[in-house]
Amino acid sequence: DAGVTQSPTHLIKTRGQHVTLRCSPISGHKSVSWYQQVLGQGPQFIFQYYEKEERGRGNFPDRFSARQFPNYSSELNVNALLLGDSALYLCASSPIRTDGYTFGSGTRLTVV
């Protein structure tokens, strides 16, 4: 069974640019969440989607947006990148919302 897959694994962008990160959940998992992990910190919640609807949003600016597709895969979009957006972005999926989430290996975003 494939785990949670994220692409790309690494990305370098310039300030002001836009980025799209992608996530494919484990087959059968309908809940997808996104987390931002800054170096030396625990992950911070960005979004949760369940059955293609946004079910929660963390304390992040409107530059951050996401969506979930009919096949339950998801995209995280970040506009007008800032240096402070440099982080590891983790996607997690779960069959039901209170199970322990299964995480992907993340996308390392560097903004220069």
Partner 1 sequence: AQTVTQSQPEMSVQEAETVTLSCTYDTSENNYYLFWYKQPPSRQMILVIRQEAYKQQNATENRFSVNFQKAAKSFSLKISDSQLGDTAMYFCAFMKREGGGSNYKLTFGKGTLLTVNP
Residues lying near partner 1 in the complex (CB under 8 A) are found at: 31, 33, 35, 40-45, 48, 50, 55-56, 58, 88, 90, 92, 97-106, 108
State the burial class of residue 50 (Cβ atoms within 10 Å of its Cβ: 0-12, 13-18, 19+): middle
Q: Which is nearer to partner 1, 38 or 80 (CB)?
A: 38
Q: Which is nearer to partner 1, 34 or 81 (CB)?
A: 34
What is the smallest separation between the CB atom of 92 and partner 1, expressed in angstroms?
7
State the burial class of residue 89 (Cβ atoms within 10 Å of its Cβ: 0-12, 13-18, 19+): buried
Phi-psi region of 80 (alpha: psi -120 to 50; beta: other; left: phi over 0): left
What is the smallest separation between the CB atom of 18 and partner 1, expressed in angstroms?
24
